[in-house]
Amino acid sequence: MEKGRHLLVDCCNVSRDLCLDDRRVLNAMACAAEKAGATVVSQVRYKFGHNSPPGFTAVVLLDESHCSAHTYADLGLIALDVFTCGSTDPADVLKYLQEELDLGDVSVRQVPRFTMESIQAAKDGRIAVAV
C-alpha cells in the first residue's frame, strides 16, 4: 500500500529574477496543480532577505496535499516539493510547472508515502529511516 507520492525537486541554475518572484511562482504552482486535476485550497507566500539571504517560500495547499517552493536567489536554487495523494500525479504538476517557468537544471527524487514498511514500523513503535 502506498498513500501518496512525494516529489523532491532540486532546481539549479535558476535565474535570480525568478528566485525573487514569489507571486509568479506561487501562481504557476497553483495553475499547474489545477491543470493536473488537483483542487487548490489555499496559497501563502513569504519573502525573506531582511535578516537572511534573499528568496522566498511559497506554499499551495491542495485537497490532495501540497506544492511548495523555497528559493535561494543568490545561488540560483529552488527546492520544490510536490506531494499528492489520490489520482493526481505529482509528475503532471511538475510537467505543467516546467511549461510555465524555466526551472533551470532539474533533478527529481520520488518518495512513496505511507508504505507498508513505514506503517509497520509505526505500529511497532519504531522509527523507519529510509536513505
As annotated, the active-site residues are 65, 70, 85
Query: How far is residue 93's CA from residue 36's CA, in Å, rounded to a whole number?
Result: 5
- The position carrying cell 517560500 is 57
Whether 79 contacts 70, CB under 8 Å: yes
Query: How far is residue 5's CA from residue 110's CA, in Å, rounded to a whole number?
Result: 7
Query: How far is residue 63's CA from residue 61's CA, in Å, rounded to a whole number?
Result: 7
Calculate the CA 4 to chain-centre distance. Answer: 14
